[in-house]
Amino acid sequence: MSTHPTRRILRLRVSIVGLEPEIWRTIDVDDSLSLAQLHMVLQVAFNWFDSHLHRFSEDDPWARTNGIPRIGRQPRAWVAAWSLTEVELEGEEDEAETTIGEAMQHDGPLWYIYDQGDNWLHRIDLIDRDVARPDEPLAQLISGERRAPFEDSGGRTGHEQIAAILADDSHPEYRSTKAWVAAAVGPWATDDLEDADLDGARGELAALFGPAASDLSGLVDAATGVTHDSPIAQFASGLSVLLRSNLRRHLRRGGALTPEPLRDEDVAEAVKPYAWLIDRIGVDGLTLTKAGWMPPAVVLEGMTTLGWRDDWIGEANREDVTDPMRDLRASAERLRLVRKLKGRLEVVGRARPTIGRPATLAGQIARMLLRQRMTEGQRVASTALVIGLADESITTRREAEGQVLELLNELGYVDAQGRELDHRWFSALTEPVLDVLQVLGLWRSGRRRRDVPPTDAVRLIARLALK
């Protein structure tokens, strides 16, 4: 009869040395995890970027620097395997070859340095050992306070200076510091020094150390309606670990994926153009002209009924030169609401149940918004746009251009000459989705209005489109 070794959980308290107020976390880890895995846990728990060297040791490196004599056995130290070949310091071992239990066999403390330039020293104290409960995770975050300092902020002195400036919006360097922090934390990350983002870290640890699963995004959840083929899950799966973590934390923190009911009264005005087109085509279809356009009378009727006639210069009765109606039909075809067949426009079978039901129509539009045929670059850009509308971080077109292009440049997209993308690329990269959103009312404006904010209906449809 075979027996399984008893799993043991170590409760550790980790604090960043020398900072006031204290930045700390309490974590539970299986003692069989390696120090390399503990490094991953600490990076997630403190929301570090894992972009610098790190080192574990049994002795306090600051005490050694201050000349305090060493008594007793030679302390051990551990680094990543590739660091051994790069640095070759005497006494250092491969962190992947030592378990947390082995490193803590003398009850600690352990010391963990991250970024030997800024010199963030973490003290790791053993609080308790206990037998693991059935199905207890290999690693989980219990509690903590305050986020870690920003990467490359210049150590304790730099961190204190940045914190002081951010706390005073009248400081002459406030805006420039705020901009630096935004670039330092990257897309979707918080710059609130008091926000430890414990829930986000817990979700990330669950994705890294939970039951094996095929969900690379970490967002698949029956409670939110996100499935493996949801646009947001597909988008997140293609990001780097850091960006994916930031996005996952951001979406959970802001509730952008929280289920919301679609009601006719909330979306009727937004979907009115598509509702009019579907109703006008009807169950019998609409005969097109010999050139393949909608009849002039229908085009003029649509422009008038939808309130677009007053802002249009021209006769507004030829689809080929009346952009609003041409774009409405083209986007409806891409959304698979209507199709051209044998000289006629027909309502696609799946769209027929939406006739007279605005909420059902909005749901169909949302489902197809990010599932249209697009290039990969367009899909990434369009998803970023929809995320910004869903989480309410985008209000104006200028903000949309900034967020979308910042992400694309972060991901390494360049133009044909190898240069970073500028605002001129925004329309081309978001065109399939932007055309639909503008029909729904995004930034819709007449001659006397500009920068009209997204309606609640547009944001609601954007949130649903991510799923």
Boundaries of every domain in the chain: 8-145, 264-365
User: The tokens 């489109």 sit on which residue?
Assistant: 465
Residue 180: which residues within 8 A CB-CB, separation 6 or more? none
- Helical H segments across 255-395, by residue range: 264-267, 272-281, 296-305, 323-334, 358-369, 376-390
Q: What is the pLDDT of residue 4?
A: 62
How far lies 311's CA from each of 202, 308, 431, in Å?
52, 6, 22
HSE (CB half, 13 Å, CA atoms) of 450? Answer: 2
Name the DSSP class of 321. Answer: G
Q: What is the pLDDT of residue 444?
A: 73
Q: How far is CA 96 from the centre of its chain?
A: 30
Q: Which CATH class is domain 8-145?
A: alpha beta
CATH 1.20.120 is right for the domain spanning 264-365: no
Q: What is the pLDDT of residue 447?
A: 46
Q: Is it true that the peptide bond before 109 is cis, omega within 30 degrees of 0?
A: yes
Instruction: Identify any residues that bridge with 13 across adjacent strands, giving them in sequence order.
Output: 26, 125
Q: What is the pLDDT of residue 65?
A: 55
State the DSSP H helix or E strand holding residue 248, giving kind and residue range, or none if neither.
helix 241-254
Tens of pLDDT along the chain (467 residues) come to 445 678 999 999 999 999 999 999 999 999 999 999 999 999 999 989 898 999 999 988 877 655 666 666 678 999 998 877 655 556 789 999 999 999 999 898 999 999 989 999 999 999 999 999 988 999 999 999 999 999 999 999 999 999 999 999 999 999 999 999 988 888 898 889 998 988 888 888 887 887 655 677 888 999 999 999 999 999 998 888 778 888 988 998 888 999 999 999 999 999 999 999 999 999 899 999 999 999 999 999 999 999 999 888 888 999 999 999 999 999 999 999 999 999 999 999 999 999 999 999 999 999 999 999 999 999 999 999 999 999 999 999 999 999 999 999 989 999 999 999 999 999 999 999 999 999 999 987 654 455 678 999 999 999 999 99
Q: What is the pLDDT of residue 92?
A: 87
Pairing of strands 77-79, 92-94: parallel
- The separation between the first and the last C-alpha atoms of the chain, rounded to the nearest angstrom, is 48
Burial 71-96 (b: 16+ CB within 10 A, else e): eeeeebbbbbeebeeeeeeeebbbbe
Q: pTM of whole model > 0.85?
A: no
Q: What is the pLDDT of residue 448?
A: 47
Nearest to 93 by CA among 72, 79, 83: 79
Q: What is the pLDDT of residue 45?
A: 95
